[in-house]
Structure 1
Amino acid sequence: MGHRARTRRTVLTAALVAATLTASLTAGCTRHGPIDDARTPRRTPAPARSAAPASEPASQTGSPLAVKVDNVPAARPQTGLDAADIVYAEQVEGGLSRLMAVFATKLPQAVGPVRSARESDLELLRQFHEPALAFSGAQRKLLPLIHHAPLRAESPDKAAGAYYRGSGRAAPHNLYLHPARLLPAAPGRAALTTGFHYGPAPSGGTPETARAVRYPAARFTFTWSARRSGWLVAMDGTPAVTAGSGRLAPATVVVQHVKIRSSRYHDALGNHTPYTETVGSGKAEVLRDGRSFDATWSRPSATGGTAFTTADGSRMNFAEGQVWVVFATAS
C-alpha cells in the first residue's frame, strides 16, 4: 500500500472515532439519558401543600370531643362529667333531660353512660370545627343528617373499640366511652370556639344562693358554695356526683332562654322530640361568684359562637373553670 493511501485511512479512522465519541457524549448529556451524575446536586421536590379554605380558620385550633350523656336516675352517678369544659343540658322526650359534655383541655379515662343524639345537637355543634360526636345511636331517619353534618360521627357501629359495657347496670344505661380511643390527645382550649369569654366579673349583679331550672319531668338546682368557688349541682333534688370524683360544682352556670319547639322526630311512644333553637338571640342569666347577672345572648349564624353581654352592652365574662349551659324555655 502506498504512503498516500495509508495516510488517507489514518485520517478517516481518526474522524470516525471523533464522531463516535461526540455522539456518545451528546447522548449522555440529554435529560432522558442513562447517566446519573452523583456530583450534580439534586433538587428535592417540595411537599404538596393543600390550601385550607379561608372559611376554616378553626382548623388550627383542633377539634373537641362531644359526648351525649344519659341523665335519668338509672344512669347516675355519671362518669367523666367533672373533666368536661362545657356541659349542655337540654330537654328531650317526655320532659326529661339529657346532657352533652364537651372535652377540649383534658380527656378523662371514661365517660358515660352514653346515649343517643338529637336533631338540635347538630345545630349546637356547628360552632365547633369538625367535632367528634360520641353517641349510642339515633332514630333511623335522623342518621343521614348526622352523617352529612360537619362532624365526626363516632357511634359504636363505627368505633366499636372505643366503647364498653359497664357492670352493675342494665342496658341502655351501661354504655361507656374511652375518649382516648377517639382523640389521640386533648386539643386544648383553643378548640372551644363557643364565643365564651373568661375574666373578671362585671360590676353589679344580684347576690344569689340558689337557682332552679325546671323541665316538665326534670329539675336542675345550682347552689353556691364559697368553699368550692362553684355551684353545687343537684338533679331532680338529688346531689349530682361523678363516679370517683365527688360533687359537681361548675364555676359558671348559664341559664339560656331559647325557643323549644317540636321537631319532626318522635320516640317509640309517639312523644315528639323537642328541638332546642340555639341560633338567634334572647335573655340569659349568668351565675358566677355567688351572684346572678342578667345578660343577653346572641348567635346570628350556626357557624358562629354565642356572645353574652350585660345590660349595658359590655361583654359578659365567665369565671375560669367548667361552664354549664342549661337551655330553658323562653317565656
Structure 2
Amino acid sequence: MKKRLLAATLVTIAALGLFGCGKKEEATTESTTEATTEATTEDTAHEGMEYNELTGEWSKDYVPHRPVAVMINNLKEALPSSSTKQADIIYECMVEGGITRIMPIFSNYDGLEAIGSVRSARHYYINIANEYDAIYVHYGQSKPAKEKLEKHAIDNINGLTYDAGFYRDSSRVAPHNAYTSGERIVKGIEDFGYSTEYDDSHEKVFSFNEEDTELTNGQDANTVHVNFSSYSKPYFVYNADTKLYDRYEYDAPQVDALADENDNVLNFKNVIIQISQYECINPKNDLQELTQVGEGNGYYCTDGKAIPITWKKDNKKGKTKYYTEDGQELLLNPGKTWISIIGNGDNTGVSFE
C-alpha cells in the first residue's frame, strides 16, 4: 500500500514538474521574443543613421569622426560670435580678470562659413578638448598652454604659426577679428596630417537617455544664474515651447551672427554647472589655474528642472564623469549641452528661479 501511495505521489510530482517546466519555457520564449522585437524595432528606427556621441542623437547626415574644439572670444565687445549655434557642446571657463572664454565643440564643421572670433589657448582648455579627442583650434596661447603644445599634448591648428587656417575680418576691430572656417580647418587637418578617425582606445564622455526624460524630484530651474565673477554673470532661461534653455549674457540673448534672425539665440537641452576651483598663478596678468583632477559638486538642468550632481576625474588624461546623488552615472537628455565650470570663491555661485 505504501509503495502504491509513493508511486502515485511521484507520478503527481512528475506531472506537476512537467507542467511547471512548460510554463517556464513559455515565459522564457515570450521574454526572448519581446527582447528580440525591441532590438529589431530599435535597429529599424535607426536604419541608415549614425549615432552622434556628443548629442546622443541619431542622424542620416552625421558622419562619425573626430570633432574640432575652437577657442572663442566671449567679451561683450567681441559679440556676436559666428557659428556657435552649430556646436554640439560648449564649455565656458574663467580666464584672466574675471572674464570667460568659450570652447564650442563641433562634430560637423566642414561647411561652416565662418567661426569666431578665435582667441588664444589656455592649458586647461587643452585638457578638456583632449577628453573628446578633438582637434584644437586657437590663435596664440598662454605660457602654460605653449608648454603643453610644445610637448604635442594635442593635435592643434594655431593662427600664430599657420596663416592658411585663419583670416582677419575687416569689419571687426583687433583682437576680435580673427576667424577661421570649416574649409580652412579641413585644409589644416590635411596639411598637418592629422587623423580624422577616433583611435581604438577612444571612449565617449557622456551617456544619454534614449529619449527625453524628465528629472525625478528636480527643483524648479526656469532661470539658471551662473556667476563666474563680479563681471561675468550669464544666465539661462527655459523656453517651455522649445523645451530648451536660451543663453543670456550681458543682459541680452547670446546670438549667432550667422544664424537665421528668427532662430539665432544659442539654446541647449542640457546645462551642466561644474563647481571647481580657480587659482591665480601669475599676479602680473592674473593667469588662472583650474582644478580639473579630483571631485566636486555641481548641478544638472534640463526641461526646467535641476538636480544636484557630483563630478570626478581620476587623472589628467582621464575623462570627467558626472553622477547623480545616488552614485549612478548621469544620463543626459538627447540634444546639445552647455557646461559652465565655475569656482567656489567670492562672487561665484549658482541660483535658480
Q: What do residues 72-99 of structure 1 show as CA deviations (whole Å, max 9, x unaligned)?
A: 0111010011111111101111111111
Aligned equivalents of 1:105, 1:162: Cα separation in 2: 17
Quick one: which of 172, 175, 192 aligns to 2:175? Answer: 172
Q: Does the 8 A contact of 1:212 with 1:222 survive in 2?
A: yes
1:209 to partner: Cα distance: 0.8
- Among the aligned pairs, what percent are the same residue? 23
1:193/1:78 Cα in 2 relative to 1: closer, same or farther (>3 Å)? Answer: farther
Aligned residue number for residue 38 of structure 1: none
- Residue 223 of structure 2 is matched in structure 1 by 210
Indicate yes or no: 2:293 matched with 1:279.
yes
SS at match of 1:204: coil
Q: TM-score, normalised by structure 2?
A: 0.69
The aligned counterpart of 1:133 is 136
How much does 1:66 deviate? 1.0
Residue 254 (structure 1) aligns with: 272
Q: Say whether residues 1:229 and 2:243 are aligned partners.
A: yes
* Matches of 2:170 and 2:186, distance apart in 1: 25
| 1:319/1:256 CA distance change after superposition, 3 Å | same
Q: Could you say which structure has the larger radius of gyration? A: 1
Distance across 2 between alignment mates of 1:101 and 1:254: 15
Deviations 1:243-283 (A, max 9, x none): 132101111111100111123x46xxx23211122221110
Partners of 1:254 and 1:136 in 2: how far apart? Answer: 27
Gaps of 5+ in 2: 1-63, 190-194, 346-353
Give unmatched runs, 5+ long, in structure 1. Answer: 1-60
The count of residues paired between Structure 1 and Structure 2 equals: 266
What's the CA shift for 1:198?
1.5
1:122, distance to aligned residue in structure 2 (A): 2.6
User: Higher helix proportion, which one?
Assistant: 2
Specify which of 319, 325, 329 is matched with residue 305 of structure 1.
Answer: 319
Question: 1:189: Cα distance to partner?
Answer: 10
Once residues 160 and 193 of structure 1 are traced to their aligned partners in structure 2, the CA distance between those partners, rounded to angstroms, is: 33
Task: Report if the CA contact (8 A) 1:261-1:276 is conserved.
Answer: yes
CA contact (8 A) 1:256 1:327 kept: yes
Deviations 1:197-255 (A, max 9, x none): 21134422112111111122211100101122211101121210001321011111111
Give the deviation of 1:182 after TM superposition: 2.2
For 1:133-159, what per-residue CA distance to the aligned partner results, in whole angstroms no more than 9, with x for missing partners?
A: 111102356423223143122112333
Moved more, 201-210 or 282-291: 201-210
Q: CA distance change for structure 1 residues 73 and 80 in 2, over 3 Å: closer, same or farther?
A: same
Query: What is the CA distance between 1:106 and its match in structure 2?
Result: 4.3
Q: Deviations over 1:155-195 (max 9, x none)?
A: 12333112111132111101111133223799699999552
Amino acid corresponding to residue 257 of structure 1 in structure 2: I
What is the alpha-carbon root mean square deviation over aligned residues?
Answer: 2.5
